[in-house]
Structure 1
Amino acid sequence: MAKDVKKRPNGRWEARLRRNGNYLGAKVFDTRKEAEAWAQMMLAQHTDGVDLRRANRSVKDYVEEFHTYREQYTNAQSATRKTDRNMFKRIPGWFLELKVGKVETRHIEKVLFDDAKENPGRTTDSITRGWTTLSAFFKYLVKQKVIVRNPATGADKPKGRLVEEVIPWMGPEIFERYAVWKGLNQEMADVALVTYFLALRWGEVRALSVKDVRIKNFEEVYVWRSWSEGEQIKDTKTEDRRWVPVMEDIRPILQKLAEGRADGELLFAGLTRAKFKWRLKWKETAQGKVIHSLRHGGITTWVEAGVLAPVAMRWSGHKKSKTFDRYTHLVGNRVNRTAIDQLNQFAREQRRSL
């Protein structure tokens, strides 16, 4: 491999790289020193097995290759791979057109900050997940000897902002929503309440059978499989089977649903997101929240009621406390607000006694 550094007519310096007479790449600099340094760095990279010609391909050229690699050669779960694909759908065209060898940390940061700006309700964890996808993508390219370093490493990530619309229903709020939904469709209103008080993922709700709920006189529900739309029934997300206690608010609903039915029947036969949202007029009645807010609110209710975190984690199917904490951050906010109300009330009483 050879380098060629020459001064251009405009006074700038151009560094060119060739291998066996074939052109590999070039870059222009203000000084000869900068051109020499870049050429030397490229030479060093090439000796490590990096093919500069492959680095001249655009980001979009490697996206599908990356997804295939994740599917066939890694242990990434299907939910993770689906999230990766959705993330690349949100990435702007200008980034996808960049040559992978020229992507810098600032480009990664711009994608993340622009995404957060366009979606002000996105949480910090969601933003971090976007960074994780990009980091995994460029880590793959490093492993394949396309580039030398991962530009996502060390990138600053914007802080997510918790807005009112993404806060789950808490306390009596879920019963207020249930009353509204019942007036539209009883069946789907029951789905919502069961999902909330069992804190289930959507796929877990769809996979529930009559046998899973007809246990110990409806005191517990056995959660052991998931059925995402468009896929076959499989294990839960964490591949962990669990028992979830049945609160008295949903016991009559489960008893009625299971009455006179065979054990193997699905509890909510034919349930889909589209049907659920359409019958409950979700856009008009859900106050800007998403279906997952039902699970979020259920877990928060457990903790707010005093259930110890290890127990609540076992019920919810979380293996990592860091993941579980994302669902309970609002409890502290509620406690703080209650304490402030008490302090204000105390101050008012003190003023009245003067």
Structure 2
Amino acid sequence: MATFRKRGNLQWEARIRKRGYPATCKTFDTKAEAEQWAKGVETEMSKGQFVSTKEAESYTLSECLDRYKEEYLPRLKDPRREISRANCLQSRAIAHRIMSTIRSKDIADYRRAREKEGISANTIRLDLALLSRLFNFAKSDWGMESLTNPVQLAAKPKLPPGRERRLESGEEEKLFEAIGDDFEFCAIIKFALETAMRRGEIVKLAWEDIDLRNKSVLLRDTKNGTCRTVPLSRKAIEVLQGLPRHISGRVFPGHLHPDTLSSKMGKACQLAGLANLHFHDLRHEATSRFFEHTDLDVMEIKAITGHKSLQMLARYTHLRSANLAARLDGAKRGEVRRF
């Protein structure tokens, strides 16, 4: 049964006590609003449809982000980026809002503010993805059943087309010249161009997973979460055979991190005068070379690169116009050479 009491001169509190449900209360500006709310809640309780909003109305987004970092993010393979993303979100004004008060308009306002700051569409998309997971987690695990996920209703930023940067004539030589006597980084670049492996897969590579006799490497820990076997070309094997053995058991130094490769690549490209070339572009280059220089079909290439779908692989299949012309003249795929 609902009871009502005046709080000060301007507010009314409605409190409902019903067997089988926790005490529920809420404050309103007028008694009429309090009575209307109480009537609706009692009806939901009678029908067994009532969901308490107490938890969702008790915590701010920032407080929930703290709990999310403590309970959920440690489960990830590499939580550092997501922790950094959560910390960034906590510095925004929206972080001080109570969870139950955040609406899709607030998410849209956050998106527009980030766009005005010049933040990339993909970064904003990842921010929104974290927020969406947080709301779902709070709803399913933290007793905030009354929450709706405002991110699902908000418009997402339009992503730009996928990168298509490739090594132009002479750029590979300039890159190696800029790297100089950094033997191991040169080896990593050569290995990436031969295998199309991701930077995270390369730095985690262990000698126990290398089978030189069968010319293959087993990748146990991939981005997609599934193992895959990558065949090794003659050049890839030559790279491996020229490497020293590390006590860590890693093929490449155990202290390397994927971000380290990106940083070293950026410095080398700047020194070589190569604009807009990232380490991940080597994967695109290697995959394109599979199509240009081998007789492998698309399914075989998909098995090597580990792309989840043919649609994802399609963006890597852009071939040089000169090679296409040679194919039109009857050249087989494996006979085509770059100019």
Q: TM above 0.5, one fold?
A: yes
2: CA distance, partners of 1:61 / 1:313? 43
Question: How big is the shift at 1:187?
Answer: 2.5
Q: Cα RMSD between the aligned structures?
A: 4.5
Question: How big is the shift at 1:71?
Answer: 5.8
The aligned residue for residue 306 of structure 2 is 317
The aligned residue for residue 103 of structure 1 is 102
The aligned residue for residue 267 of structure 1 is 251
Deviation per CA, 1:100-154: give whole Å up to 9, x if none.
010001112233344455455444xx65443332222111222233251222222
1: CA distance, partners of 2:287 / 2:28? 55
Partner of residue 280 from structure 2, selected from 281, 292, 303: 292
The aligned residue for residue 215 of structure 2 is 220
* Counterpart residue type for residue 241 of structure 1: C
Matches within 5 A, 1:1-354: 2=2, 16-19=13-16, 24-26=25-27, 44=44, 48-52=50-54, 54-70=56-72, 77-79=76-78, 82=80, 84-91=82-89, 92-118=91-117, 121-123=120-122, 127-143=124-140, 144-146=142-144, 148=146, 149-162=148-161, 167-170=164-167, 172=169, 175-176=172-173, 178-183=175-180, 185-210=182-207, 212-213=209-210, 215-216=212-213, 220-225=215-220, 235-257=221-243, 265-273=249-257, 276=261, 277-278=263-264, 281-282=267-268, 284-285=270-271, 287-303=275-291, 307-318=296-307, 320-321=308-309, 325-326=311-312, 328-329=314-315, 331=317, 334=318, 338=321
Question: How big is the shift at 1:69?
Answer: 4.0
Question: How big is the shift at 1:188?
Answer: 1.0
Question: How big is the shift at 1:96?
Answer: 0.9
Question: How big is the shift at 1:172?
Answer: 4.7
Q: Does the 8 Å contact 1:4/1:15 carry over to 2?
A: yes
The aligned residue for residue 336 of structure 2 is none
Aligned-pair identity (%): 18
Q: What is the SS of the residue equivalent to 1:152?
A: helix
Deviates more, 1:110-119 or 1:95-104: 110-119
1: CA distance, partners of 2:279 / 2:248? 26
Deviates more, 1:207-216 or 1:128-137: 207-216
* Counterpart residue type for residue 229 of structure 2: W
The answer for unaligned runs of 5 or more in structure 2 is 18-22, 326-339
Q: What is the SS of the residue equivalent to 1:257?
A: coil
2: CA distance, partners of 1:303 / 1:97? 51
* Counterpart residue type for residue 56 of structure 1: S
1: CA distance, partners of 2:102 / 2:95? 10
Distance 1:236-1:117 versus aligned 2 partners, 3 A rule: same
Q: Does the 8 Å contact 1:184/1:279 carry over to 2?
A: no
* Counterpart residue type for residue 266 of structure 1: R
Question: How big is the shift at 1:310?
Answer: 2.7
Distance 1:240-1:211 versus aligned 2 partners, 3 A rule: same
Q: What is the SS of the residue equivalent to 1:243?
A: strand
Distance 1:325-1:119 versus aligned 2 partners, 3 A rule: farther
* Counterpart residue type for residue 222 of structure 1: V
* Counterpart residue type for residue 183 of structure 1: G
Question: How big is the shift at 1:224?
Answer: 2.7
Deviation per CA, 1:45-85: give whole Å up to 9, x if none.
9963424265132111112323444368xxx6434x55543
2: CA distance, partners of 1:5 / 1:307? 78
TM-score, normalization: structure 1?
A: 0.66
Q: What is the SS of the residue equivalent to 1:223?
A: strand
Distance 1:57-1:212 versus aligned 2 partners, 3 A rule: closer
The answer for unaligned runs of 5 or more in structure 1 is 226-234, 343-354
Distance 1:244-1:133 versus aligned 2 partners, 3 A rule: same
State how many pairs are aligned. Answer: 309
Q: What is the SS of the residue equivalent to 1:136?
A: helix
Question: How big is the shift at 1:190?
Answer: 2.0
Q: Does the 8 Å contact 1:201/1:292 carry over to 2?
A: yes
2: CA distance, partners of 1:188 / 1:210? 17
